[in-house]
Structures are given as C-alpha cells and as structure tokens.
Amino acid sequence: MEGASKPRTTASRRRKVTPALRGGIDLGGTKIEAIVVDDTNTILASSRHPTPSSGGPADVAGEMVEAVKGACQAAGVEPATLVGSGVGSPGVIDEAVGTVSTARNLPGWEGSYALGPELQMNLGTHVVIGNDVQVATDAEFALGAGRPYRSLLGVMWGTGVGGGLILDGKPWVGRGGAGEIGHMVVEMGGARCPCGRRGCMEAYAGRAAMEARARKRQKEQRTDLFKIMKERGRTKLTSSVWARALERKDKLTVELIDEAVGALGAGIASAINLLDVPAVIIGGGLGVRLGEPYVKRIRKAMQPHLFNDTDPPDVLLAGLGDLGGAIGAALLVMPARRPAARRSRAAAGA
Ligand SMILES: [Zn+2]
C-alpha cells in the first residue's frame, strides 16, 4: 500500500463525536500516513500523502502538516482541538526536545531538525515524537497480534529492517539504540549494507539493499522488476512492485526474495537465541504486503538456526496492517491509557 502518488483522504462512515481525539502520523520514506483516532483507538479518518523526495526536513514537515489537516478535515475537527498528535519517525529521536537526526531515508535529513516544535507550531496541538519501529511494535503489543504476550520482538521488514522489543510488558530501548535487528550479522564479510558495514541482515533483506542488488544483477540476468516499476509509475522498487514481480515468477525477484527470507530466518533466530521471547511479529511495508505465506517461510527459515529448536516462538503477521505505525504514533500522546488497556487483556492469558 506504500508509494501513493497523490494525496488520498478517507473518513469512516461510522464516525461518532467524541472530545478526546488524537492524531497519529507515520513518517515513512515513501509515504506520510496521518490518522485521527478516538479514545478507543478507532480510526475516524486517515490521509496519505507522498513523502517529498527532494528538498529538506522543512518540506517534509510541511507535507506532514497537510496530511494531518486532511485527516482532521475528513474527521470534521480542527487540528488545534486534538488532545495531541504522535509521530513515528525514522532516524535518531530525542523525545524530550522533539528533534529528529540522521533520517537517511528522508531528503536532506543528515543533520538534526526540531520536527516536534515545528509541527506543534503549525498544528496548534501538542506533538510527541517516537521511533517509527518502536511505536509500530508498541501498537502490535497493545492492540494487534502481540496482545496475548508479555514480551515480544517486532520485525519491521521494509526499506530497511527495523526491530522493536517489548520485555516483560515494557518497551526496551537500551541506551536509545536497541532493536537494530537489521544490523545483526548473518554473514561475516558478506554483502555491503546501507549502513556501510558488511554482512548485516538488512544487506540481504532490506528493500533498499535488495533494489541495489537487483540493479547490479540486471546486467547479467534478465528481469521484469524495473519494467513493472515503470508500469506502476514508480521511481523505486516499492513493496507492490516486488509483490507483482513475485506473482509473475520473475527469476531474479524469486532469488532475491529467497535470500532475504534466508537472512531474516538467520537474524531473527539469532535474536531469539539471545532473548527467548515467546513471539515475533512481522510487519513493515514488505512484510504486510507479502503477508502470511512469507511469515510461514520466515518461520521455516528460522528453524535450523534456533538453539531451542523443539520450542520455537510464535511467528505472526502484524495484526494492524499498514496503519500500525500511525496507530502506534497516536498511542504516544496518551501513555497513561496503555498500562490499563494492557491489564484488561492480560486476563485473557499467556
Ligand atoms: Zn548494516
């Protein structure tokens, strides 16, 4: 569902008037998804805008403001009346001051930018920024496929491969840099990763790295990948392009996806050997697009690498789909609700 080429705004027909509305913004390398939710986390309206591919942080912030305005308009409210708005952002986040640094998938974002204050000024509402992968994992834990568990690992398989951790009911962020599962080494001295190192899982499974591999190999091997990209009016190999090429059984695509699945199996199993959490949730643009059959394949690819191979963890597809990131962002503005929501579900067991 990523890669919208023009803004698209939708409103739920079962809209009900409630005073405690919040905004959630999922800031991705391809699209900005803004939603408005009520106090039960039901989505009242959403608006999807393409992420600017040139310019800088100010242009991205401007498009984010437009996306929130679009969602608010569809929900029949003014942005300033929202209790607040959360943002799930890539890059290095300083939640206290609302800055985002080195968001390399976004245009001209090598330095630090005060995204929170900028949005707050233009929307007239409180803005909280969190890490995109961690908020998507939090959303799956609170409301999605992770609900039955106290601990889990979220793996967001998209442009990169991000990881989010919940340990014993609480997000584990380490010193701020935890969850970088994409940079687990699956092959010593292996392929070059977008991070500059070698042999990382993301070097084989991240969509950006897979595209770089495809561009290199197309010189020796015929492929329809780039033809499909052009047919669909895209400038990069989006998840829908990969999915379409798989449907056509494009040989290079099948090879690259096989390598990606193998790398995910080794990397996730290694993380499980260390943490022994009971569940792995597979999300992200590519994960959600390829869906259950590929979750099954990842589960199978993990098996030979699991030390405790008689008792593998549950490996599940993200339950909130494409909107999990935006829902998780909206959860940032009312942290007080999360433990309560959690307790009521703990009674359901596991
Ligand atoms: Zn890396």
Expressed in angstroms and rounded, the spacing between residue 84 Cα and the centre of ligand 1 is 34
Tokens of 154: 């979220």
Expressed in angstroms and rounded, the spacing between residue 212 Cα and the centre of ligand 1 is 14
Q: Give the Cα separation of 300 and 304 in Å (integer).
A: 8
pLDDT over 80 at 11, yes or no: no
Q: Is 265 helix (H, G, I), strand (E, B) or coil?
A: helix
27-55 average pLDDT score: 94
Given this model, what pLDDT does residue 345 score?
38
Please list, in sequence order, all residues whose beta carbon lies within 8 angstroms of the beta carbon of residue 147, skipping any fewer than 6 positions away. Answer: 141, 319, 345, 348
Could you tell me the pLDDT band of residue 67, with boundaries at 50, 70 and 90?
Answer: very high
Expressed in angstroms and rounded, the spacing between residue 160 Cα and the centre of ligand 1 is 9
Could you tell me the pLDDT band of residue 344, with boundaries at 50, 70 and 90?
Answer: very low
Expressed in angstroms and rounded, the spacing between residue 218 Cα and the centre of ligand 1 is 23
Q: Give the Cα separation of 173 and 251 in Å (integer).
A: 39
At which residue do the structure tokens 């005073």 appear?
19
Return phi, psi of residue 75, to 5°.
-85, -5
The predicted-structure confidence for 108-117, as pLDDT tens digits, reads as follows 998 999 999 9
Given this model, what pLDDT does residue 342 score?
39
Specify the pTM: 0.87
Expressed in angstroms and rounded, the spacing between residue 274 Cα and the centre of ligand 1 is 19
Residue 141 vs residues 26, 58, 60, 65, 134: alpha-carbon distances, Å: 17, 32, 29, 28, 10
CB 71 within 8 A of CB 47: yes
Residues, CB-to-ion distance under 5 Å, ligand 1: 183, 193, 195, 197, 200
The predicted-structure confidence for 305-339, as pLDDT tens digits, reads as follows 999 999 999 999 999 998 999 999 999 997 444 44
Q: Collect contacts of 119-124 with beta carbons under 8 A, ≥24 apart.
A: 119/61, 119/64, 119/65, 119/68, 119/85, 119/87, 122/61, 122/65, 123/23, 123/65, 123/68, 123/69, 123/79, 123/80, 123/82, 123/85, 124/78, 124/79, 124/80
Expressed in angstroms and rounded, the spacing between residue 20 Cα and the centre of ligand 1 is 41
Expressed in angstroms and rounded, the spacing between residue 189 Cα and the centre of ligand 1 is 12
Expressed in angstroms and rounded, the spacing between residue 86 Cα and the centre of ligand 1 is 28
Expressed in angstroms and rounded, the spacing between residue 243 Cα and the centre of ligand 1 is 24
Given this model, what pLDDT does residue 5 score?
59
Given this model, what pLDDT does residue 334 score?
76
The predicted-structure confidence for 248-274, as pLDDT tens digits, reads as follows 999 999 999 999 999 999 999 999 999
